[in-house]
A and B are shown apart, each in its own frame.
Chain A
Amino acid sequence: MNGRIKLIFSIIATITIILIIALVGILMDEDVLKADFKIKNIEPCLEYPFGTDWMGRDMLARTVKGLSISIVIGLVASIVSAVMAVIIGTLAGTMPKWVDSILGWLIDLVMGIPHLVLLILISFAVGRGIKGVMIGIAVTHWTSLARLVRSEVLQIRNEFYIKLSKKLGKSNIYILKNHILPHLLPQFIIGLVLLFPHAILHEAAVTFLGFGLPPEVPAIGIILSESMKYLSAGKWHLALFPGLSLVAIVLLFEHIGSNIKKVLDPYNAQN
């Protein structure tokens, strides 16, 4: 078994863990999330590893539910963002120079308003709620990947095989479809996976500030902002475990991203 196969197994294992968490959260029986005042304010123990809150809700169940919501939102927002990045980056790299400068200016514009302020504005513009978070994250995260795709396209455009293909009379669409886009696939996959952590963290952040998901949904941002009221009463476990789980999910995605990078890098094939 060589290093590449090990890496692929590690990627599959990590994806499986994430899928299991997402499925458990999505398929979770709503009864588990209900308040039960008989068991309120329990510190972490064997039966309730994350403890319970002031309404007697099981924090482990709420955290898993919250993580599954984050994963779904992150997935949708990253896919939209990555597709936007490839389209805009390819346009900037292949179209005449003035299109490139306009798109470069647009990227500067989106990057100019601080992410969180832009997310607040977009959430305000679409009337808050889950729609606001999804649109907000999707339209703010494509910029750096688009720049990367653009420089990649500019580089490929001057390769000999593209020039040869042109001389052989192939149309621009043919060259784009058969020569440029396949070359961008690895960038797209890595970019997509690495967008994920940003998307999840920003979703949690806007929700924490009160602009994202509605307060009755057990999102991680909601759980953490609720926990703030109980911190001075010594309820540290309400903030510690949900946050730690979020960090764990983010690290799992970083892990997948860096491993995919290694697998797709031909220089690593021999190790």
Chain B
Amino acid sequence: MVSKIIKKILRLISLELAVCITVFVLITLSPIDPVQSYVGAGVAVSPEQRENIAEYWGLNSSLEDRFLSWGKSILKGDFGTSLIYRRPVISVIYEKFASSIALMGTAWILSSLIGYSLGIIMGVNQDKPLDRIIKSICILLSSTPTFWVGLLVLIVFSVNLGWFPIGLSVPSGILSSEVRLIDKIYHMILPALTLSLTSFAAVALHTREKVITVLESDYVLFAKARGESQMEIIQGHLIRNTIIPTITMQFASFSELFGGSVLVEQVFSYPGLGQAAVQAGLRSDIPLLLGIAIFSALFVFLGNFIADLVYGLVDPKIKEI
């Protein structure tokens, strides 16, 4: 078990290192001029100034040298300075990640609960009208673009009903120190709702399949023969045997969760990491883009790592190996 965990940690480190190399190479491939993006579009730069800036940033040295010096500084925790925010990248990511985690966490818990319950309901009522209706809704939702659901939610709840503000995660015209927690929660409701709406379908359909497999098993047949009621079967056999695959799947889906949050943050102008990633890409803020790519990959890898761990800890069959 312990050697397995160490192996997984080593794999995680090797993958994270490969992510660093990949994103670095992708950025250097870009035809977008780093000097021009640093001084801002439309600003004229004389050849001498350009040479000075390139010299200052070390753009004239070789690719390996640049990668090594970049690698050394990120190992020290120095990801450079964001061009948009004019602050160290690490502090921007820290702040934005906190609000993204609040959003993604809420949506993640909501979608797990809704998805799991619906999955059980569908599986128990297999091929009955209730199952068919919920299944169709799930298939429909999984074919629907997240950002469009966001737009519909905005139209209904903000424009027509006027219950929620149209954008921003805090009320406007107030100092950031005066923003109350309740305001933050209020502004997070719609984005979190949208994100969970578009992500519970996958959990529900996955759970449905598992439930059907369990219900067809010999031990459930035996339980029925013993005269256990449906409630007893659900509590004693169904939930015990289906909850771990669902939890594992939810931890392994951090990539989709992050992608969804990028779109939702854009629609609701929610100031999280996703919106920062889009801004960094559009305005060529290379240090910030690199930092976000590395941290978002770490987030996904940690999710997969936890999924493996949960699986190994809880399932006795896997623990033995």
Contact = CB atoms under 8 A, between A and B. Distances in A.
Contact of A116 (B254, B262, B289): B262
A211 B263 CA distance: 13
B30 A205 contact: no
B84 to A, nearest CB: 15
Contact of B263 (A126, A205, A240, A251): A205
A201 B278 CA distance: 17
Interface in A114-137: 114-118, 120-127
Given A109-B18, A254-B139, A124 B148 contact: no
Given A114-B255, A115-B259, A125 B151 contact: no
Interface stretch (A59-67, A164-172, A229-237): A229-237
Nearest to B273: A117
A239 B159 contact: no
B278 A205 contact: no
A198 to B, nearest CB: 10
Interface residues of B, number: 52
Given A112-B15, A201-B145, A251-B140, A208 B30 contact: no
Given A114-B255, A125-B30, A236 B159 contact: yes
The secondary structure that dominates the A interface is helix
A143 B107 CA distance: 26
Interface string B277-299: 11001101000010011001101
Nearest to B14: A105
A91 interface: no
Nearest to A237: B155
Interface string B10-42: 010011001100110011011110000000000
Interface string B132-164: 000000011001111110011011001100000
A142 to B, nearest CB: 15
B30 A127 contact: yes
B258 A117 contact: yes
A207 to B, nearest CB: 10
Contacts of B30: 124-127
B251 interface: no
Contacts of A224: 147-148, 151
A124 B155 contact: no
Chain A's interface size range is 35 or more
Contacts of B143: 197, 201, 247, 250-251, 254
A243 B259 CA distance: 19
B227 to A, nearest CB: 34
B292 A117 contact: yes
Contacts of B147: 204-205, 208, 224
B300 interface: yes
A209 interface: yes
A103 interface: no
A221 to B, nearest CB: 8
B266 A209 contact: yes
B282 A210 contact: yes
B300 A114 contact: yes
A181 interface: no
B193 interface: no
Contacts of A124: 26-27, 30, 32, 281, 284, 289
Contact of B262 (A109, A117, A234, A236): A117
B244 to A, nearest CB: 21
A216 to B, nearest CB: 17
Contact of B26 (A108, A121, A197, A205): A121
Given A210-B282, A228-B267, A236-B155, A205 B11 contact: no
B255 A239 contact: no
A51 B185 CA distance: 36
Contacts of A111: 255, 300
A116 B258 contact: yes
Interface in A217-258: 224, 227-228, 231-232, 234, 236, 239-240, 243, 246-247, 250-251, 254
Q: Which 3 A-B pairs have the closest CB atoms?
A: A243-B148, A116-B259, A114-B258
9 contacts: A112-B15, A114-B299, A205-B146, A211-B278, A228-B267, A243-B145, A243-B148, A243-B152, A251-B143
